[in-house]
Structure 1
Amino acid sequence: MSVLQTYTNPVLSGFYPDPSVIRVNDDYYLAVSSFEYYPGLPIFHSRDLIHWEQIGHALIRKSQLDMSSRQSSQGIYAPTLRYHEGVFYLITTDVYGIGNFYITAEKPEGPWSDPILIPYGNIDPSLFFDDDGKVYVTAQNGTDVESHIIQYEIDIKTGKALSEPVVVARGDGGVWTEGPHLYRMKGFYYLTCACGGTGSDHRALVYRSVNPYGPFEIMPHPMLTHNQLPNHPIQNLGHAELVEDAEGNWWTMFLAVRPVDGQYSVLGRETFLAPVTWSEDGWPMVDNNEGTVQFEMTVVRSDQNAEGNLFDEQPLHTSQVGDAIASTSGSGLTSWRDDFDEEQLNHRWAFIRTLQAERVSLSESPGQLTLKGNRHSLKDAEPSLFIGVRQQHRCMSVTTELCFAPDVDGEEAGIAVRLNEQGHLTLGIRMANGTRVLTAAAVDRGEVSILSEVPVTGERIWLRITANEWEYQLNYSNDGTTWWNTIAHAAAHIVSPERNGGFTGALVGLYATGNGVDSQTSAFYDYFDYKISE
């Protein structure tokens, strides 16, 4: 028996772009891009495609990934997740690093193998296992309007190419034909890819052929786009992945953006879900400027798949802080607090490029997170000490209790909102000319602005950053309960990629720095509280 079920997009909010999804029996698994953040490639699990629980990261060891020299929005680009004969495969690109590679695991939560390199392609590689035992890599190649899709056969044990790459698609005349996925279904090989860049002209194209190398015919119009709906609240739709559920219904997971006033989004590119219908002549269809992809979606689901969220927030510890990050909870649609009383860090936390385990501790002061800053600040291209979680709501607040008594000029620690080196906000205690001050600062287009400073006498202070669609408020309290002082305001667009570039969204978190020298003073954080206010 079927029932109507309503769900809310995005199904994975915040900076979780380039979704790749598979079904294994009654379970669904999802991987997303991570760019310069470590650990790399978050992995999620679901039983209904709507409610997602993170179960780990695929890249957790230096032998898999060394991004210490990567710039922001470099690192790990769009992955493709696949499953074949009891093995999970995850193929991706380390941009400006080792290039295209894949890793394998017996379980989606890992452990995952070290990289197996492949020889051809630029970005966005995908794997396809054909019924005759052949394995194909489909990948983007070329640049801009010359961007196209290539395909070749590999030995899945070694990554060695068994054929020369063949061009199988050149897009529809737009820029950046990329993000390819090859499927075999309904008597055809179907090839999906993105086109138009990741902005407002973004779209998903579909091709089909009776042979894996084509020739491919292109569907006359995009499968998915809002590129002619400038006033629609959901924009930049594309990079779509197809998946069939256990009842034979087809779906697509794709990235999209929720711009504020049609201008910017600090949340970045998020993961959305929509049903796929098939035309009479055998083409998959989602939304070609019809506006049917909405925040509130109503779909037909069986009783088995319409029971709501199947998961509670239960921590799943996997390893020590120095090796990986533990795994908990769902898609981030709730308020959340970390009291730092576990032996491992919660899976939500991410570092810039590398962990710096010697400067991060949960044991130096049990029940607190201890950070000891290096010489780099958030405006430096080198790895600074920042630990953040993805901002997943336009209206929210983050609060922490900080104990920090710097003795050396330049030492600083506090709370921050980070997009990249060009755009971020900080609120922290800093030693300046022998005096401790609470400093609110903004970096916009690389230029530093001190928004406000007040003297600090004690070692303990409560810090809070509150956000709405248009601005952030930077606040502090001397006791954390009775009175909060607003020290500064900053425009939200400062931490949006539309303003300051890149492919990511904002992270909110904690930082420490020596501003030119390694800090000798530890900063102790008692908790981190993320609270929805919308």
Structure 2
Amino acid sequence: MPTATPPPAPAAPANPVLPGFHPDPSVCRVGDDYYLACSSFEYYPGVPLFHSRDLVHWTQIGNALDRPEQLRLPLDAPSSGGIYAPTLRHHDGHFWLIVTNVSGDGNLIVTATDPAGPWSAPVLAPDVPGIDPDLAWDEDGTCWCTVAGVSQRRLDPATGRALGPTRRLWSGTPGAKAPEAPHLYRIGAYWYLLIAEGGTERGHGVSIARARTPEGPFEPCPANPIQSHRSTEHPIQNTGHADLVQGPDGSWWMLLLGVRPSGGSPGWHVLGRETFLAPVTWQDGWPVVGELSLTLPALPWPLQPTPAVPARDDFDVDHLGELRPHWISLRDRSPQHFSVKDRPGWLTLHARGADLSAPDAVFLGRRQTDASCAMRALLDPAEGRGGLAVRLDEEHHYGIEADAVQVRAVARIGPLRTVLAAQPRPPGPLVLRIEIVATQVVRDARTGPDTVTLGFDHPADGFVALAELDGRYLSTEVAGGFTGRVLGVYAGEGTVHVDWCEYRSADG
């Protein structure tokens, strides 16, 4: 008898577990559930929140700062300003989130009984200096707030007021710059202080110290940094800003940020800092971080895949008129400029800034999460000018835009903004398209990370490519800053209606 062909083995789960611009992960476990928060910088709403049952598959359940009174970002707040480095914790039946708005209120605290929201109005913490604040509670209920530097003070988290002086705890490894991202934990007989150091670029790393009390004195781990890919050719670089958590079976794991540079030298990362997962074991009372790779090891618990973010959004939203939580805009989302009610079944954008070079541009996008991908949108620009863009910041973006007369490919690279090509616009609504193809072969050191094609679907001629651009100019290595690419629609003049928008990876 013929031998039956065995079913294919399931694919190993991939790292990053949160691809795209999802930096500074902070995670907490409540029973069988895991919740994770990330930085959001100049984008609104702020602090995306995710849920998982297996630490691998994450579903966005909301944003902690999703109301104007919670997130006050001035329209001139710089890109890579705004919301830095949340810490998410669960204590005494409540979720607590402390975060820094470097462009507005400083350090603030919000709480919720359900991490999907609603979250409270912010409690300001003016007595907390610095960025990257962390909250930890000891056995008698004292709350300790630790910040980049690394310093600490007792805090009343309900009022944001300090209950004691600021004390220096530890400055990290001698000679290593920027000790930051502190997280304080009680594990067994010790209090552990986990930090990032070395700067958030190629020198980034994770180090740890321990003490018998949360106030120290802290003894550094002799193996510091316990995780770093500095001075290596590893495909994951800039690793740091970590948080520790126990898996469903009681094993220990680290969630941390990293980037995936590609192309030639020096290597360009375009998706921003992403969230990765790495195993942790313990030796002599110290955590030992296992291999961090693009595929995860076999996990000792069942995976629980979750529904993917819908590829296409037709903007047929519910009665509340709310957009799905993965959509982000720049600095605010005023109903004067964003509406799903003006034209039912369409997203309507009313222009404010003249184009994406303006900090008050009306833009709605989603993070690029795949090295090769495409975005398409059906726009009606008869009442204005607008388009589809891939954005890093005000000085680095590419777009395909249309008005009543023309379709144009435009680019802004540093101080230069140019119209690359233009054609007469066919009548009626128009499908605009951006295609991004990752570099597969590095020809020499100057080879860029990917190619970005800007075009539109002509009703008679099919797809018309107006421009093909090197993607390196929309990378952090060129533009600087802390964010990653966001793809979306915008209005540059008058009113633009969007019937649908879809994002698809090269794999479907």
> TM-score by structure 1 length?
0.87
AA aligned to 2:361 is S
How large is the Cα RMSD of the aligned pairs? Answer: 1.6
Q: Which moved more, 1:195-204 or 1:66-75?
A: 66-75
2:315 match: secondary structure: coil
Counterpart for residue 243 of structure 1: 245
Counterpart for residue 500 of structure 1: 479
User: Cα distance, 1:245 vs. partner?
Assistant: 2.4
Question: Counterparts of 1:309-328 in structure 2 under 5 Å?
Answer: 309=305, 311-312=306-307
Task: Indicate conservation of the 8 Å contact 1:5/1:306, yes or no.
Answer: no
Counterpart for residue 34 of structure 1: 40
2:490 match: secondary structure: strand
Q: Is structure 2 residue 110 aligned with structure 1 residue 110? A: no
Counterpart for residue 485 of structure 1: 464
Counterpart for residue 297 of structure 1: 296
Alignment equivalent of 2:281, drawn from 277, 284, 302? 277
Q: After TM superposition, what 4+ stretches of structure 1 lie above 6 angstroms from structure 2?
A: none
Counterpart for residue 356 of structure 1: 334
Query: Aligned pair in 2 of structure 1 residues 132, 401: CA closer, same or farther (>3 Å)?
Result: same
User: Cα distance, 1:111 vs. partner?
Assistant: 0.9
Counterpart for residue 67 of structure 1: 73
Counterpart for residue 48 of structure 1: 54
Q: Give distance in 1, aligned partners of 2:295 and 2:315.
A: 35
AA aligned to 2:389 is A
User: Cα distance, 1:68 vs. partner?
Assistant: 2.5
Question: Counterparts of 1:453-492 in structure 2 under 5 Å?
Answer: 453-469=422-438, 470-479=450-459, 483-492=462-471
Q: Is structure 2 residue 145 aligned with structure 1 residue 137? A: yes
User: Cα distance, 1:299 vs. partner?
Assistant: 3.3
User: Per-residue displacement from partner, 1:270-306 (whole Å, max 9, x unpaired)?
Assistant: 0000110111x1111115xxxx2111121341xxx31
Task: Indicate conservation of the 8 Å contact 2:74/2:104, yes or no.
Answer: no
1:449 match: secondary structure: strand
Counterpart for residue 100 of structure 2: 93
2:472 match: secondary structure: helix
Task: Indicate conservation of the 8 Å contact 2:72/2:105, yes or no.
Answer: no
1:297 match: secondary structure: coil
User: Cα distance, 1:457 vs. partner?
Assistant: 4.4
Task: Indicate conservation of the 8 Å contact 1:83/1:89, yes or no.
Answer: yes
User: Cα distance, 1:443 vs. partner?
Assistant: 0.5
User: Cα distance, 1:215 vs. partner?
Assistant: 1.1
Question: Counterparts of 1:504-523 in structure 2 under 5 Å?
Answer: 504-514=483-493, 519=494, 522-523=495-496
User: Per-residue displacement from partner, 1:70-119 (whole Å, max 9, x unpaired)?
Assistant: 21111000000000110100000000311111111111111111111221
Q: Give distance in 1, aligned partners of 2:304 and 2:35.
A: 17
Q: Give distance in 2, aligned partners of 1:508 and 1:427.
A: 12
Tell me the matched-pair count.
478
User: Cα distance, 1:62 vs. partner?
Assistant: 1.4
Query: Aligned pair in 2 of structure 1 residues 137, 526: CA closer, same or farther (>3 Å)?
Result: same
Alignment equivalent of 1:419, drawn from 363, 381, 392? 392
AA aligned to 1:523 is V
Q: Give distance in 2, aligned partners of 1:346 and 1:156.
A: 31
Task: Indicate conservation of the 8 Å contact 1:154/1:162, yes or no.
Answer: yes
Q: Give distance in 1, aligned partners of 2:218 and 2:250.
A: 25
Q: Give distance in 1, aligned partners of 2:497 and 2:227.
A: 48
Counting aligned pairs with the same residue, the percent is: 41
Question: Counterparts of 1:115-514 in structure 2 under 5 Å?
Answer: 115-118=122-125, 119-140=127-148, 148-172=149-173, 173-220=175-222, 221-229=224-232, 231-261=233-263, 263-279=267-283, 281-287=284-290, 292-301=291-300, 305-309=301-305, 311-312=306-307, 330=308, 336-343=311-318, 344-381=322-359, 383-406=360-383, 411-430=384-403, 436-469=405-438, 470-479=450-459, 483-514=462-493
Counterpart for residue 325 of structure 1: none
Q: Give distance in 2, aligned partners of 1:347 and 1:211.
A: 40
Task: Indicate conservation of the 8 Å contact 2:73/2:103, yes or no.
Answer: no
Task: Indicate conservation of the 8 Å contact 2:39/2:85, yes or no.
Answer: yes
Q: Give distance in 2, aligned partners of 1:486 and 1:212.
A: 60
Q: Give distance in 2, aligned partners of 1:156 and 1:457.
A: 58
2:473 match: secondary structure: helix
User: Per-residue displacement from partner, 1:402-435 (whole Å, max 9, x unpaired)?
Assistant: 11214xxxx421100010011001110146xxxx
User: Cα distance, 1:460 vs. partner?
Assistant: 2.1
Q: Is structure 2 residue 13 aligned with structure 1 residue 7? A: yes
AA aligned to 2:59 is E
Query: Aligned pair in 2 of structure 1 residues 260, 5: CA closer, same or farther (>3 Å)?
Result: closer
Counterpart for residue 324 of structure 1: none
Task: Indicate conservation of the 8 Å contact 1:250/1:276, yes or no.
Answer: yes
Query: Aligned pair in 2 of structure 1 residues 15, 212: CA closer, same or farther (>3 Å)?
Result: same
Q: Give distance in 2, aligned partners of 1:156 and 1:533.
A: 46
1:498 match: secondary structure: helix
AA aligned to 2:422 is E
Alignment equivalent of 1:16, drawn from 7, 17, 22? 22
User: Per-residue displacement from partner, 1:25-66 (whole Å, max 9, x unpaired)?
Assistant: 110000000000001011100001000011111101111111
AA aligned to 1:125 is P
AA aligned to 2:121 is D
Q: Is structure 2 residue 508 aligned with structure 1 residue 529? A: no
Q: Give distance in 2, aligned partners of 1:40 and 1:300.
A: 32
Counterpart for residue 3 of structure 2: none
> TM-score by structure 2 length?
0.91
1:499 match: secondary structure: helix
Q: Give distance in 1, aligned partners of 2:353 and 2:238.
A: 38
Q: Give distance in 1, aligned partners of 2:56 and 2:207.
A: 24
Task: Indicate conservation of the 8 Å contact 1:460/1:478, yes or no.
Answer: no
